[in-house]
């Protein structure tokens, strides 16, 4: 029972980690919250659905993130750079507006009902693990989630750009003085973040579903995770995503009637105990 709980939490957390780390990266680097991140995820999912219909799941998993990365580049050059002088709130509001436009456009193109996506045949079916039968697709999902987590951690810890990202996240003024090319870094982070949203969107298809409300649901989840994790802290976001996944899954098992509220309770409890969140975000200005 516990094993099942943990496995399901990890599956959900895998998606959340991919999405919220992207959000946290941009926030840490540019102090900007992309309120359209949920819409990107939704775009990734719907694109994945269409591509999968034409060429199969694996093609979708490859192409959708690439297309979204392109959109991320457009976002960086078309939105973030021109609005550099504006306050963070204004930029956040613009991303909110764009997210609404994207979400509505998708509903317009695809209609208002949910779509199902089938898991690829290689991943359909279940596997016997610790005496339980568990869907193979979810194991794949968990592997992808942990894999991206590990890749992110390695990149942050050992690469030059990763070091720069950490530095700027901790103290933007100092890092900029040291000649870190924040622009190139930002382009990298934005396109990576969008690509990850694409991956998460495609992966979500067979696991959750592809429906019109998914952008709002996901952006709220990610926002909660980023706040709990401590604004600007990527490690914190990962821990928060795991916590969130667990609370959500446990809630739906033990208190199914109130499960929808579980994440919010978690949010407000954390805010009460640790107003700055779990992780060690940037130092108070």
Partner 1 sequence: MSGGTSRAAARSGVLLGGGVSTRAPVTVLLAALIFALGAYAPTHFLSEFALRIGAGGLLLGILALSVAFLMSQAGLVALGAASVYGGVGYLFAICLSEWDLSPTAALLFAFVAVVVYSAALGALIVRTNPLAFMMLTLAAGEMISHSVMLEGLRDYTSGADGLVVNFKGAVFGMTSADFANATRFWPIAWSAAWGLGLAAFTVRRSRFGAILRAIRENEERMRFSGFGTYLPRLVAFVFVNAIAGVCGLLHVLNSGFVSPESLGLSVSTNALVAALIGGVAGSTGPIAGGVLFAVAQDQFGAHGFTQLLTGVAIVVFIVLLPRGVVGALLDAVRRSDRRGTG
Residues of the shown chain interacting with partner 1 in the complex, contacts defined by CB under 8 A: 27, 31, 33, 35, 83, 86, 88-90, 92-94, 96-105, 107-108, 216, 219-220, 223-224, 226-227, 231, 256-258, 260-261, 264, 267-268, 271-272, 275, 285
Of 51 and 224, which CB lies nearer to partner 1 in the complex structure?
A: 224
Which among 74, 93, 73 has a CA at the least distance from the CA of 32? 93
Residue with tokens 């995770």: 225
Identify whether the C-beta of residue 45 lies closer than 8 Å to the C-beta of residue 214.
Answer: yes
What's the closest the beta carbon of residue 270 comes to partner 1, in angstroms?
A: 10
Of 53 and 261, which CB lies nearer to partner 1 in the complex structure?
A: 261
What's the closest the beta carbon of residue 109 comes to partner 1, in angstroms?
A: 11
Name the 3-class secondary structure at 126. strand
* CB burial string 70-79: b at 16+ within 10 A, e below: ebbeebbeeb
Give the Cα separation of 179 and 177 in Å (integer).
Answer: 5
Q: Which residues pair with 115 in a beta bridge?
A: 210
What's the closest the beta carbon of residue 34 comes to partner 1, in angstroms?
A: 11
- Angle of helix 37-55 relative to helix 57-75, nearest 10 degrees, comes to 150
Identify whether the C-beta of residue 80 lies closer than 8 Å to the C-beta of residue 30.
Answer: yes
- Angle of helix 57-75 relative to helix 182-207, nearest 10 degrees, comes to 150
What's the closest the beta carbon of residue 2 comes to partner 1, in angstroms?
A: 26
Of 177 and 285, which CB lies nearer to partner 1 in the complex structure?
A: 285
Say how many residues make up the chain.
285
Of 36 and 206, which CB lies nearer to partner 1 in the complex structure?
A: 36
Of 36 and 72, which CB lies nearer to partner 1 in the complex structure?
A: 36
Going from the C-alpha of 74 to that of each of 45, 78, 122, 130, 256, the distances in angstroms are 19, 5, 35, 46, 42
What's the closest the beta carbon of residue 256 comes to partner 1, in angstroms?
A: 8
What's the closest the beta carbon of residue 123 comes to partner 1, in angstroms?
A: 31
What's the closest the beta carbon of residue 91 comes to partner 1, in angstroms?
A: 9
Of 144 and 249, which CB lies nearer to partner 1 in the complex structure?
A: 249
Of 149 and 219, which CB lies nearer to partner 1 in the complex structure?
A: 219
């Amino acid at each position: 029972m516990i094993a099942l709980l943990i496995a399901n939490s990890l599956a959900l957390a895998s998606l959340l980690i991919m999405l919220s780390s992207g959000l946290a990266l941009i926030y840490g680097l540019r102090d900007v919250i992309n309120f359209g991140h949920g819409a990107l995820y939704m775009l990734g999912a719907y694109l994945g659905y269409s591509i999968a219909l034409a060429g199969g799941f694996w093609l979708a998993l490859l192409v959708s993130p690439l297309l979204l990365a392109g959109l991320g580049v457009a976002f960086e050059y078309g939105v973030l750079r021109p609005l550099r002088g504006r306050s963070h709130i204004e930029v956040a509001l613009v991303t909110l507006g764009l997210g609404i436009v994207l979400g509505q456009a998708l509903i317009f193109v695809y209609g208002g009902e949910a779509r199902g996506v089938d898991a690829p045949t290689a991943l359909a079916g279940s596997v016997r693990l610790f005496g339980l039968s568990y869907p193979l697709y979810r194991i794949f999902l968990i592997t992808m989630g942990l894999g991206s987590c590990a890749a992110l951690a390695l990149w942050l810890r050992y690469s030059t750009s990763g070091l720069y990202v950490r530095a700027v996240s901790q103290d933007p003024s100092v890092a900029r003085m040291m000649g870190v090319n924040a622009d190139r870094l930002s382009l990298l982070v934005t396109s990576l973040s969008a690509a990850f949203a694409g991956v998460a969107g495609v992966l979500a298809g067979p696991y959750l579903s592809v429906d019109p409300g998914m952008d709002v649901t996901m952006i709220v989840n990610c926002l909660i995770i980023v706040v709990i994790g401590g604004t600007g802290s990527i490690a914190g976001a990962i821990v928060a995503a795991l916590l969130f996944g667990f609370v959500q899954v446990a809630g739906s098992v033990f208190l199914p009637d109130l499960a929808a509220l579980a994440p919010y309770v978690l949010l407000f409890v954390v805010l009460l105990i640790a107003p700055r969140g779990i992780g060690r975000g940037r130092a108070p200005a």
